[in-house]
């Protein structure tokens, strides 16, 4: 591969890293072409970008990035692919679901989510449990609305009781 081709690939990977805040480095070695195509289709449906990359080119692209990916470098060994996503837990959920069809693949080598690094395939359940930004905002809004709802329902039910008491007293 010529240096010009390598620089174009590095620039494309660097652009993808800049466009997507969440990066998973996975191992899909041993997959047939058909299996990789199935994985790509599922990734496409869930707005996840899947690329098979060379480790040296990925490392160079990460070096160009404004984000510090240096903690991930030890995971760049063997066959690597990257999964890029807007949602932090979407690739983990896809991997877990895809594993129901296949035994142990794809493997999670490392993940970079919200400026935190996770290593190893044993982190998959934890990565699935991470809530997205939208889910966290929804939880927060629900928590903030809960006390207000309690006060309103107490006032509404209390008003009915108070009116009933006043009516009973006036009849006596």
pLDDT tens figures, 52-89: 989 999 999 999 888 888 888 898 888 889 999 988 88
pLDDT in tens, 8-26: 999 999 999 888 989 999 9
Q: Rounded to 10 degrees, what is the CA torsion of 66, 68, 74, 76?
A: -20
Whole-number Å distance between alpha carbons of 142 and 66: 35
The helix (H) or strand (E) run that includes residue 39 is: helix 33-45
pLDDT at 79: 86
Neighbours of 129 (CB within 10 A): 10
Phi, psi of 141 (to 5 degrees): -65, -40
Spatial separation of the C-alpha atoms in residues 54 and 70, rounded to whole Å: 16
Residue 48 clears pLDDT 70, i.e. is over it: yes
Q: pTM of the prediction? A: 0.75
Q: Which of 78, 81, 70, 79 is nearest to 112 (CA)?
A: 70
Conformation bin of residue 152: beta by default, left when phi > 0, alpha when psi is -120 to 50 = alpha
pLDDT digits 0-9 by tens, 95-144: 988 888 776 788 889 999 888 888 888 888 888 888 777 777 888 888 78
What does DSSP assign to residue 86? Answer: S
- CA–CA gap between residue 46 and residue 74 (Å, rounded): 28
CA distance 74 to 72: 6
């Amino acid at each position: 591969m010529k240096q010009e081709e390598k620089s174009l690939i590095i620039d494309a990977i660097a652009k993808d890293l800049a466009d997507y805040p969440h990066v998973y480095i996975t191992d899909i070695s041993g997959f047939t072409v058909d299996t990789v195509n199935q994985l790509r289709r599922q990734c496409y449906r869930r707005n996840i970008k899947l690329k098979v990359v060379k480790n040296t080119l990925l490392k160079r692209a990460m070096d160009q990035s404004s984000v510090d990916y240096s903690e991930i470098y030890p995971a760049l060994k063997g066959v690597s692919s990257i999964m890029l996503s807007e949602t932090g837990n979407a690739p983990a959920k896809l991997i877990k679901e895809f594993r129901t069809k296949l035994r142990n693949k794809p493997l999670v080598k490392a993940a970079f989510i919200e400026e935190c690094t996770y290593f190893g395939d044993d982190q998959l359940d934890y990565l699935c449990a991470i809530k997205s930004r939208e889910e966290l905002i929804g939880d927060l809004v629900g928590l903030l609305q809960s006390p207000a709802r309690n006060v309103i329902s107490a006032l509404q039910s209390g008003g009915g009781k108070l009116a009933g008491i006043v009516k009973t007293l006036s009849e006596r």
